[in-house]
Every structure is written in structure tokens, then in C-alpha cells.
Amino acid sequence: MKIIYMGTPDYAVPTLEALINDGHSVEAVFCQPDKPVGRKKIMTPPAVKVFALSKGLTVYQPDSLKGDEVYNLIKKISPDAIVVVAYGKILPERILNIAPFGCINGHGSILPKYRGAAPIQWAVINGETETGVTAMFMDKGIDTGDILKISKTKIGENETAEELFERLSVITAELLTETLREVEEGKIAPQKQNEEEATYAPIISKEMALIDFSKSANDIFNAVRGFNSWPVAYCMFEGKRLKVFACKVRGNSDLPYGTVANSETLSVVCGDGKCIELTEIQLEGSKRMSADEFLKGKKIPVGTVLIGGEQRG
């Protein structure tokens, strides 16, 4: 097939590679514009652009897809299908209608659950034990198109969102190459989504990662996994942000939630009376380290309050 591929981050690279390896002719690659990264704001190309150029592919990075220039360009390329993975822009309806085999998207959830921008993170935050990838025809809605094929996978008990991202990126590549073959051969009957079962996964913000110690230990454990590696769960200690990369659910305590119950292991009381042991942390201005290493340099007495659930003033 003649393909136009649309994707931007690392997550979208395996699918592009799989399309090439499967013998498709990738006529053009669309990704987001280069963006300033880090404290020095160095302009950095997205991962898909870097990979595409390494394969000699033509790359386009329009600020918008709404204008006639982009529409006419895609129409001139005349792709058989447009494949989209984590592109980051909404496709206008007239672009959706150009390719005879349609626009096919790989979405990181079992639709209609977790429509939206952050399905993988919310599945972990909500403590789901299963997720997957859905191949779907795109329509003018947000992840509302007809389902073509689904691949399911279990979420590991301690798996972080970052680890799940890596696994699902490979599953997405496998699923979309299979889907394209079956669509071309007419072997797939698209299925409508059940709107009554739809749930949503809104974009993640840094503010969401502030730990709310009034919640249960399991909820906090899942949030820490879901916010790893961005934006990273955190609380406040002595006026500084304390990032929490990993934790464990521990035993009970009668102390108020948000207080340190064990100074030797940095265990904090949660709203259900159980404790969460912070095992991998980073205090603002310091390096990332184990809690054991941190406590060698600074003792935190039992009863110390770690502030969570409110914004920094």
C-alpha cells in the first residue's frame, strides 16, 4: 500500500518501522514541529522525524492541518491509507476522506474505554489489570470511530506507565500491520463502538501528580506508577518538592494521614490507615536516589508531615 504516516513521539516509531519492514511504500511522514527542550531550550526534532529521515523518508511538520496547502499536498500524494499513531493533532474531516482505505489509528486502550489523550497513564492510575490497543477507522470525533481489531494485554502489578508505553508501542506496531493486511484483503468487518461504555482519559497535567495522602495506599501506589516517568508523583517536604518514582504498600498505622510512620523506611500514612513506603525519590535540587540512600544523609522523624493534596503556595 501507499501510506502516509502520522506520528510524533518515541511511541510511534515502532509502527513506522513495521510498516517499512512489511513492504508498504511510506510516501510521506507527518509529525509535530521541532520543540525547545530542557533548560537551554534547544530545538529538538521528534523521534519519528529522526527515524524517518534516517530511512530517507520525506517529512512534513505543519503547524496545522486545516489549510488548503496541506489538504492539496495529501491529495496529490494520493495514499491508499493514512496511518496515525500518537500524532497529536486532530485531522480535519476532509483529510479523513482522502484515502480509499481510510485513516487508521492505533489507540492505546480497549475502546470505547479511555478515549482521549492519555489512555495508558489513566489505565495504570485507575488500577486496571488489563488494557490493550485498538485499531480503528478515524472519524470526526475523538476516538469514536469504528473498531477494526483489538489486541489485549495484562498490566503488571508493579508496571509503570513508562514500561507499559514501551510494551504497547510494540503491540501497536504488530496490530496495525496485521490490520492493514486484513483491511486490504477485505477480511475485517468494522464494529460500531458502544457509547454507553465510553470512558475518557483527559490530558495529564503536572498538578495532577501531587499526592493526596487522604486516598488509600493502593490508590497512591497506582498513581505513582501512572505518573512515572512524567510528570512524576510528588509531595512537599520542608518547602521543597519531593518526587516519588516508586513505592510499596505497607502495614497499618494509627497516625494521621500524610505523616511519617517509620523514619527508617520513609513510610507515610494514607487515608485508609495503611502506609505507603517511598522507595525511590528525588528532593528538589538533589539527584534521584533510593530512600535508604536519602535517609543516610537526612533523618526524618516519625510524625513529620509530608504535604500533599494541595498546591504549592
Q: How far is the C-alpha of 195 from the C-alpha of 137, rounded, in Å?
A: 16
Looking at residue 199, its amino acid is T
Domain boundaries, the chain: 2-197, 206-297
- Tell me: pLDDT of 287 over 50: yes
Tens-place pLDDT, residues 171-187 = 999 999 999 999 999 99
- Tell me: pLDDT of 117 over 90: yes
- Tell me: pLDDT of 18 over 60: yes
The alpha carbon of residue 150 and the mean position of all alpha carbons in its chain are separated, in whole angstroms, by: 18
The pair phi, psi for residue 8, each rounded to 5°, is: -130, -55
User: Predicted confidence band at 309 (pLDDT cuts at 50, 70, 90)?
Assistant: low
DSSP per-residue string spanning 93-110: HHHHTTSTT-EEEEESSS
- CA-CA distances (angstroms) from residue 82 to 45, 87, 224? 22, 12, 36
Tens-place pLDDT, residues 22-50 = 999 999 999 999 999 888 899 999 999 99
Answering whether pTM is above 0.85, one says yes
Quick one: how many helices (H) and strands (E) in the chain? 8, 15
Q: How far is the C-alpha of 295 from the C-alpha of 225, rounded, in Å?
A: 22
Q: How far is the C-alpha of 186 from the C-alpha of 183, rounded, in Å?
A: 5
- CA-CA distances (angstroms) from residue 209 to 9, 74, 117, 118, 228? 22, 39, 16, 14, 10
**What is 206-297's CATH number, 3.10.25.10, 3.40.250.10, 3.40.50.2300, 2.60.40.10?**
3.10.25.10
pLDDT, position 310: 44
Tens-place pLDDT, residues 119-143 = 999 999 999 999 999 999 999 999 9
pLDDT, position 311: 32
What's the chain's average pLDDT?
96
Q: How far is the C-alpha of 296 from the C-alpha of 153, rounded, in Å?
A: 40
User: Predicted confidence band at 307 (pLDDT cuts at 50, 70, 90)?
Assistant: confident
What is the average pLDDT across 84-100? 97
pLDDT, position 308: 82
Q: Which one-letter DSSP state was computed for residue 17?
A: H
pLDDT, position 86: 97
> Any residues with CB less than 8 A from the CB of 297 and at least 6 apart, and which?
none
- Looking at the domain covering 2-197, what would its CATH class be? alpha beta
> Any residues with CB less than 8 A from the CB of 60 and at least 6 apart, and which?
28, 29, 30, 31, 70, 73
pLDDT, position 284: 95
- CA-CA distances (angstroms) from residue 39 to 36, 43, 120, 227, 286? 9, 11, 28, 21, 16
